[in-house]
Amino acid sequence: MLRFDSLMAALFFTVFSAGLINNAHAEERALHQIQTDDVEIPANGYLVEEIGDRLFWFSDGFQQSFFMTTGEGVIVVDAPPSMIDKYLDAIAQTTREPITHVIYSHAHTDHIGAADRMPQDAIRIAHQLTHESLARANDPRRPLPTQTFVDRMVLTIGNQVLELSYEGPNHLSGNVILYAPRQKVLSLMDFLFTGSSPFPYLGHAEDIPGLMRHHDILLGYDFDVFVSGHIARAATRADIELQRQYLHDLRDHTDAVLAETSVFDTFQRLGPETAMMSAMSMWLDEMAEEVSNRMLETWAGRMPGIETTTRYNAVPMIQSRRVD
């Protein structure tokens, strides 16, 4: 059995912050170790649990997703390249039904970069914005969706129902909320790193106000299990509430520091011989450090990795509060 625990979270984030992880593959492999609860991964390298009637949650300790059997075929969510062989094996070991539908949660390669490994005749469903993004990318690993929607779509196969909703940009434009109402399972990929500090720079979220707004949207659903896309265990309502509090505190401390400090103070202190972008960078670094220090007065130790990631998470929050 492979065991992942919270001790590795601090290790990863320390390495990340030191700049020692400098490519996407190494980043993904190191992130494999970030956990907050002990989770045992069987010797085959993955864990499958039926968390609702014929809805199966999958985790390899690094990424997670889910699939549903319908009696008429399998609905699969995403096709992450880092776990595709295990994912396909898990489905084959669970059911003899063929994969008939593939849901693209959003366009990012780490989630659908092995979509070409899914059956060619499967129906591929995504938001219209994801279709447009993939059309621009022209990536053969990510075949274009064959069916799209704009606001809401209800997929009913057999007696299984999966609702797809789009409430605006968050982590990425086109990133959709998935909800299985009968099983009370909810998902918004890359929105949450379960039980852990948000990934540096708030997971490279495209829209910070949208990211924050989605906490209230998700908490409005009646759900028991939240599938986050990363980290070994599935999430709960409490995980979303905790991240919501973290981001609201980060926003409030950012607003306070912005009110006390002006970038022009930095220009004046450094003098005209300092290039403007250098002064801007120094100001942003100082701001992020101050926001982080204030955050850690009350947040230190509350989530793995928080001591090293909060400074990085302050940067996009500062920029958002300045211009959004």
How is 123-188 classified by DSSP, letter by letter? EEEEEHHHHHHHHHHT-TTSPPPSEEESSEEEEEETTEEEEEE--S-SSSTT--EEEETTTTEEE-
Structural domains counted in the chain: 2
For 66, 74, 188, 225, the CA distances from 50, given in Å and listed in that order, are 9, 14, 19, 11
Spatial separation of the C-alpha atoms in residues 314 and 293, rounded to whole Å: 10
pTM here is 0.88
Whether residue 165 is contained in a domain is answered as yes
pLDDT in tens, 69-123: 999 999 999 999 999 999 999 999 999 999 999 999 999 999 999 999 999 999 9
Contacts of 9 (CB under 8 A, 6+ apart): 33, 34, 35, 36, 196, 197, 304, 305
Do the Cβ atoms of 49 and 217 come closer than 8 Å?
no
Domain's final residue, options 214, 235, 256: 235
- Percentage of the chain exceeding pLDDT 70: 88
Spatial separation of the C-alpha atoms in residues 277 and 283, rounded to whole Å: 10
Task: Examine the domain organization and report whether 228 and 83 are in the same domain.
Answer: yes
Give the confidence band of 155 by pLDDT, cuts at 50, 70, 90. very high
Of the two residues 2 and 33, the one the predictor is more confident about is: 2
Task: Examine the domain organization and report whether 132 and 188 are in the same domain.
Answer: yes
pLDDT at residue 316 in the model: 97
Task: Examine the domain organization and report whether 190 and 277 are in the same domain.
Answer: no
Of 10-14, 82-86, 123-127, 284-288, the range with the lowest mean pLDDT is 10-14
Whether residue 80 is contained in a domain is answered as yes
Give the confidence band of 232 by pLDDT, cuts at 50, 70, 90. confident
Of 17-31, 224-238, 241-255, 285-299, the range with the lowest mean pLDDT is 17-31
User: What is the mean pLDDT of the segment spanning 22-48?
Assistant: 59
Domain's final residue, options 183, 210, 235: 235
Task: Examine the domain organization and report whether 133 and 166 are in the same domain.
Answer: yes
Residue 36 has pLDDT above 60, yes or no: no
Task: Examine the domain organization and report whether 223 and 314 are in the same domain.
Answer: no
Task: Examine the domain organization and report whether 296 and 172 are in the same domain.
Answer: no
Give the confidence band of 22 by pLDDT, cuts at 50, 70, 90. very low
pLDDT at residue 183 in the model: 98
pLDDT at residue 263 in the model: 72
Whether residue 316 is contained in a domain is answered as yes
The DSSP code sequence of 53-107 is TTEEEEE-SSBEEEEEE-SS-EEEE---GGGHHHHHHHHHHH-SSPEEEEE---S
Q: Which two tokens stand for residue 235?
A: 């999430």
What does the mean pLDDT of the chain come to? 88
Task: Examine the domain organization and report whether 222 and 178 are in the same domain.
Answer: yes
Whether residue 28 is contained in a domain is answered as no
Structural domain boundaries, residue 210 = 45-235
User: What is the mean pLDDT of the segment spanning 277-282?
Assistant: 81
Of the two residues 125 and 195, the one the predictor is more confident about is: 125
Task: Examine the domain organization and report whether 203 and 289 are in the same domain.
Answer: no
Highest-pLDDT range among 10-19, 166-175, 188-197? 166-175
Residue 226 has pLDDT above 50, yes or no: yes
**Where does residue 200 fall: left (phi above 0), alpha (psi -120 to 50 degrees), or beta otherwise?**
beta
Q: Which two tokens stand for residue 94?
A: 């669970």
Task: Examine the domain organization and report whether 319 and 265 are in the same domain.
Answer: yes
Residue 186 has pLDDT above 80, yes or no: yes
pLDDT at residue 268 in the model: 72
Give the confidence band of 40 by pLDDT, cuts at 50, 70, 90. confident
Whether residue 108 is contained in a domain is answered as yes
Kindly report the CATH number assigned to the domain that includes residue 202: 3.60.15.10
Give the confidence band of 4 by pLDDT, cuts at 50, 70, 90. very low
Task: Examine the domain organization and report whether 107 and 195 are in the same domain.
Answer: yes
- Percentage of the chain exceeding pLDDT 90: 76
Spatial separation of the C-alpha atoms in residues 48 and 66, rounded to whole Å: 9
Spatial separation of the C-alpha atoms in residues 324 and 313, rounded to whole Å: 16
pLDDT in tens, 238-257: 999 999 999 999 999 999 99
pLDDT at residue 62 in the model: 87
Task: Examine the domain organization and report whether 171 and 251 are in the same domain.
Answer: no
Picking from 48, 43, 49, 37, the residue whose alpha carbon sits closest to that of residue 2 is 43
What amino acid is encoded at 172 in this protein?
Answer: L
pLDDT at residue 38 in the model: 59
What amino acid is encoded at 204 in this protein?
Answer: H
User: What is the mean pLDDT of the segment spanning 48-63?
Assistant: 95
Whether residue 130 is contained in a domain is answered as yes
Domain's final residue, options 212, 235, 258: 235
Whether residue 64 is contained in a domain is answered as yes
Task: Examine the domain organization and report whether 205 and 265 are in the same domain.
Answer: no
Whether residue 1 is contained in a domain is answered as no
Give the confidence band of 274 by pLDDT, cuts at 50, 70, 90. confident
User: What is the mean pLDDT of the segment spanning 269-296?
Assistant: 86
